[in-house]
Chains A and B, each alone.
Chain A
Amino acid sequence: MGTSPGPREESPIDSGSSPHRHPVRVEVHGLSKSFGAVRAVDDLSFTVEPGSITGFLGPNGAGKTTTLRMALGLERPDAGTATFDGVTYPDLPAPVRTVGAVLETAFHPARSGRNHLRVYCRAAGLPVPRADEVLAQVGLADAGRRRAGGYSLGMRQRLALATALLGDPAVLVLDEPANGLDPEGIQWLRGFLRHLAHAEGRTVLVSSHLLAEMEQTADRVVIVGAGRLVREGSVAELRSGAQGSGAVVVRSPEAGRLAEVLGAAGFTVAPSEDGRVTVTGTTPDAVGAQAFRAGVELHELRAETSGLEELYFRLTAGQEQYAAPEGSRR
């Protein structure tokens, strides 16, 4: 289990690190679906570009999984479409060669991982040895002949990913792929997805309810709450838009003087007894610059909550299905 996406290069079917042969854009247009009185997905539209990782972000129950399942023809939308280069999933001439999806880690417990993959090779008309290639690609070569029922959660995620990669697809759709992965596995997945998107030009759409994970993995994010689009844009755009709304913690042996200096410079300052000063409504950069100019020694300087995190909570506040009472969150 390496942290580099290296094993891909061993696969004869893939194009090495050259751009993927046929980039495919995903367009979701006006998707809606209700379950009884609950509008799970409400007139949702967004696009996913090739060559980048798009994070599909929202609290649990925001309609992410329903959206993905509708896009892949597993559930029938009440309205709207999702297309891959203009074609809906069921109409794709070779669906698994165009789109690979990790929706749930579902296997027959008595069937080995390798046989599981062989079933789908057969069904998709792919050469059966492809099963061994994708097993190696996700680092499961040694476990392939064992019953999938004995796999750890992380191994199941890897097997689900291997299933999605069988057809060497131009688009990868992953629903909460980091669930059940250990920190090493998450780092591996991050590198793997980056390689697939940036080096090979594939279109990668990853859903998650964890902003921190998406901040590190995604190039763009689509934020949903209560089934509606809340914000769409690049991570950099959102971050700069959220500048100055976070809180910065500074620790200094001269905490008193630091608080004075920062207060005089117009910052909102809250000193505490243990040598820490909390500054709100600014960035670590601005606080550090001010302290440097005043010649105050700093021992610590960090963003307590990133501006993006504040923004995410604000955007999706009260839209979780089982929202915590106001004020109890964080």
Chain B
Amino acid sequence: MIALVRAEWTKLFTTRVWIGLLLGACALVSGFVVLFTSFAGSTPGGGQGGPPGGLPAVGTEQFEQLVLAVGANVTVLFLILGIIGMTQEYRHRTATPTFLTTPRRGRVVIAKLAAYALVAVPFALVVLAVNYGVAAVAAGARGAVPALSGENLQVLASSGLALVIYTVIGVGLGALVRNQVGAIVGGLVYLFVVEAIVRQISAIADAYKWLPGGALEALTATLQGPDLLERWQGALLLLGYGLVAALLGTLLAVRRDVV
């Protein structure tokens, strides 16, 4: 199994997809932090003093948690990392040599899940380091470097955990859908259209907290939102979604013909 995990890492690091996704995640995180810091403390009316309706001011607890949680907004790129990791085998038809080398196909999917979960940890740490670094510089320029302790640290850790779990969900989703474009488009449409609509309609909004997006929001949200689970419950639920996707993906990869 260790050999298979290492083979997956060789696959990942002998193409450049990971560089693009990691740089993209870092750039997005930096952009969000700069944006939030620039408009911190402003209200829609243009006055100072923070919410309601605007962003909290630099130096407040809410502001620090907000800028340190932006990592959760790039979970989608980690989802895509996982999807590509699995679906590239079908897209480039390397599934054939892969499953010839390891005819017990479940082992391939499990190795991929492990390899991508493990690789997502340093990737997430890089994103979090950039997140904190940019926040320290940007907020520092306005007089208040966020402390790396207590609630702030918990916010960062939650984002990191969400990034890792979304990578695993991506691998599972890729094994389910197999078509790379289909899996990515489907994943994006689900997260940004379907869940957004469910969240809006009050009659079914109760269901939202049980969905992956709701679980992610429970785990990482710092602003007031809809009715959500506790942070730890969100983490468990998200982990559950990751495991279900992985299990279904493994079962299907074992049963279906390799075409």
Interface residues of A (CB under 8 A from B): 69, 72-76, 89-90, 92, 95-96, 101, 103-104, 106-112, 115-116, 118-120, 122-125, 163
Contacts and interface: CB of A to CB of B under 8 A. Distances in A.
Interface residues of B, number: 25
A106 B11 contact: no
7 contacts: A74-B100, A95-B102, A106-B97, A108-B15, A111-B14, A111-B15, A115-B10
B101 A123 contact: yes
B100 A95 contact: yes
B25 interface: no
Contacts of A76: 257
Residue of A69, A89, A111 ringed by the most chain B CB atoms within 10 A: A111
Contact of A163 (B3, B88, B97, B259): B97
B104 interface: yes
A95 B97 contact: no
B7 A74 contact: no
B103 A106 contact: no
Contacts of A109: 92
Contact of B100 (A96, A115, A125): A96
A119 B11 contact: yes
B14 A72 contact: no
B7 A106 contact: no
Contacts of B94: 106-108
Nearest to B11: A119
Contacts of A101: 100
Name the 4 nearest CB pairs between A and B, nearest first: A106-B93, A123-B7, A90-B103, A122-B7
Contacts, number: 80
A72 B100 contact: yes
Interface in B72-124: 88, 92-94, 96-104
Contacts of B258: 69, 74-75
Contact of A123 (B14, B16, B96, B102): B102
Interface of B: 3-4, 6-7, 10-11, 14-16, 88, 92-94, 96-104, 257-259
A110 B16 contact: yes
Contact of A73 (B4, B99, B259): B99
B201 to A, nearest CB: 41
Given A110-B16, A124-B102, 6 more contacts: A72-B103, A74-B257, A90-B103, A101-B100, A109-B92, A123-B4
Nearest to B108: A123
A185 B17 CA distance: 34
A220 B184 CA distance: 48
A95 B105 CA distance: 13
Contacts of A73: 99-100, 103
A53 B175 CA distance: 38
Nearest to B92: A108
Contacts of B11: 108, 111, 119
B84 to A, nearest CB: 11
Contacts of B257: 69, 74-76
A109 B93 CA distance: 11
Contacts of B7: 119-120, 122-123
A95 B96 contact: no
A274 B173 CA distance: 70
A112 B10 CA distance: 12
Contacts of B97: 106, 120, 163
Contacts of B259: 75
B216 to A, nearest CB: 31
Contacts of B14: 108, 111-112, 115-116, 118-119
A106 B96 contact: yes
Contacts of B3: 122-125
